[in-house]
Amino acid sequence: MIKFFRLFLFIIFGYFSMMISASANDVVMPDPDIAPLEVVDIQLTGLQNNDNPKSDFGIRQTWAFAHPVNRRMTGPYPRFAQMIRSPSYIEMIDHATHSITLGKQGEGWRQFDVLMETKGGNVLFFSWVVEKVTDGEYQDCWMTTAVSAPSPAGQGS
């Protein structure tokens, strides 16, 4: 009986370990329960750790929360990834730190001020806009519609 119990615990532990590691490799998908600030943080944290747990995971995570209208303008995914790697946005990848504060807001949209310290120590400012999707697959989910070009905002620590 004790051997059976140990085997049972071993199987259960293995199953949950497998589920946890599988979910750590999956991007977080839009969900109506994810708040606007969380959307921006999910994207920035992904970009901050771009190649963890696998190559370009952060860019894929950012793409997952690109609003359908934004996707039509910046996609498909390979074109979006190329845009993120362009000189305008490359400093987002593997940045050192970021802070997010609510700027303006209206019915169905939020604009956030993002300060990002690059791995080189420069501080950049971005305006990050999310909107609630009104129909389709992502209805009622907050997703990114626009990110400004970076503006220099000083020197980091």
Taking only the tens place, the pLDDT of each residue in 109-141 is 999 999 999 999 999 999 999 999 999 999 999
**Domain total for the chain?**
1
Q: What distance in Å separates the CA atoms of residue 109 and residue 93, rounded to the nearest whole number?
A: 25
Q: Which domain holds residue 136?
A: 34-155
CATH number, domain containing residue 87: 3.10.450.100
Inside any domain, residue 25: no
Q: What is the pTM of this model?
A: 0.83
**pLDDT computed for residue 147 by the predictor:** 97
Reply yes or no on whether the pLDDT at 3 is more than 50: no
Share of the chain above pLDDT 90, in %: 81
Q: What distance in Å separates the CA atoms of residue 97 and residue 109, rounded to the nearest whole number?
A: 25
Reply yes or no on whether the pLDDT at 4 is more than 80: no
Residue with tokens 């806009």: 129
Inside any domain, residue 84: yes
